Amino acid sequence: MKKLSWFLVLVFPLLFFGCAVPVNSNPELPSSAQQLNNETRKALTFSPAWQFKTDGFVDASPLVVGERLYAASWDGHVYALGQHGQLIWKQFLGAEIDATPVANDESLFVQTWQRQVAALKLTDGQLRWRFSYPESPADDHRQGALLPVSGKVLLPAWGGTLYALDAKKGEPHWQSSGHLPLRSAVVRDGELLYLSSGDGTFSAFDLTGRSVWSVSIGAPLLSSATVTPDGPVVVARDGLLSAFDRQGKLRWQRETGEICYYSAPNYHAGYVYLATTAGSLWKLAADTGQTIWLLRDLGAFYGSSLIEKQRLYIGNNNGRLYAIDIESGKVLATFQAGRDIQSTPAFFFGRLVFGSRDGNLYGLDLREGDQAVEEK
């Protein structure tokens, strides 16, 4: 009876307070409980610093360039903000924006629902040029972000065409078929470009737009791949993770059994992190696909994660932002916004910034201390 009592005393708190489930069978990897017992972790809390209101959903992720933060909203505006969330300039582009803005040294590039790309001056938001592409049966919400590459801007158009536009003039240098619809950004891996298509085709192009290889995964690909040292990893809508080498040869596949819409896998230091629409967060070995830990019941994820200083930051469709220790899977802190968080957070002057479907951009201070973190 004594042995049973001691067992309950030791095990019950772990079950009650909820650690990540260590489903990895490798005995050399410590469990979450062992990691927490062997390390002293400072408590983390979120403290609101500023808030900026727009008139639409803020699904596009914030972009930091120097001392400015650039953001876009479904209200059709692009905003440039200063350190404390103050407005520097705004520019109306005439249609909803849900794709993250990108920039080079001179210009900000934004795709809108009018099937247009606009190049704006970073300094004052004045229009430099516009480029329009044709209508297609795939025209709908959720556009892929652009990608600046070697004096060009790569545009994944809804209708399945990948355009390379001159960054200074907006004129097309080349275009390639990527299969429709395209709803995510192109990813660069040295001399290769990886493109995910809504018909399930995963393609590699060189920097001139020449097709290098393509494979059919079978289910729609709605998010960008992540690049590992051994090649790309991409997730299909049905939750199938596929890892390839740079020649397009399949290295491994992993069935999660969970729907994944727009949350992209995220590679960091030998591991791939994946958030699903089922509300799970996975940590897997990038070389094998083996599960290291798994968190469940966090709320549906549509946005992608940010990893910084051994912490993962991600928001869910209930408006809850999480800070999670990437070694143990322990939830360190949360913050509640008014609606869905589908943007990827960023750091700006040491503050965590993100957008929400409540129309706001938030700037949060992160505070560490010796007291336990209380979720609010």
Q: For residue 261, what are the CA distances in angstroms to 169, 198, 274, 276?
A: 34, 11, 11, 7
Provide the CA 307 distance to its chain's centre, in angstroms.
Answer: 10
**Looking at the domain that runs over 31-54+305-376, which CATH code has it been given?**
2.40.10.480
> How many Cβ atoms are within 10 Å of 373's Cβ, its own excluded?
20
CB 247, CB 240: distance < 8 Å: no
| pLDDT given at position 43 | 83
| pLDDT given at position 261 | 97
Tokens of 286: 């990038």
Closest CA to 160 of 130, 191, 137, 192: 137
H or E segment to which residue 4 belongs:
helix 2-17
Residue with tokens 């004052």, as numbered in its chain: 124
> How many Cβ atoms are within 10 Å of 374's Cβ, its own excluded?
9
CA distance 302 to 271: 20
| pLDDT given at position 22 | 53
Closest CA to 361 of 86, 54, 145: 54
CB 353, CB 312: distance < 8 Å: no
CA distance 53 to 363: 12
Domain ranges across the chain: 31-54+305-376
Closest CA to 79 of 360, 341, 345: 360
CA distance 78 to 87: 11
| pLDDT given at position 178 | 86
Tokens of 98: 């849900």
CA distance 258 to 291: 14
Tokens of 185: 């950004």
Length of the chain in terms of residues written: 376
- Going residue by residue through the chain, which has 376 residues, state the pLDDT in tens, using 9 for 90 and above: 444 444 444 434 433 334 465 554 333 333 333 333 333 346 899 999 999 999 999 999 999 999 999 999 999 999 999 999 999 999 999 999 999 999 999 999 999 999 999 999 999 999 999 999 999 999 988 999 999 999 999 999 999 999 999 999 999 999 999 899 999 999 999 999 999 999 999 999 999 999 999 999 999 999 999 999 999 999 999 999 999 999 999 999 999 999 999 999 999 999 999 999 999 999 999 999 999 999 999 999 999 999 999 999 999 999 999 999 999 999 999 999 999 999 999 999 999 999 999 999 999 999 997 443 333 3
Provide the CA 366 distance to its chain's centre, in angstroms.
Answer: 20
CB 112, CB 100: distance < 8 Å: no
H or E segment to which residue 226 belongs:
strand 226-228
DSSP 21: B
Q: What is the DSSP string of 99-117?
A: SPPEE-SSEEEEEETTTEE
In the three-class reduction of DSSP (H, G, I as helix; E, B as strand; rest coil), residue 88 is classed as strand
Whole-structure pTM value: 0.89
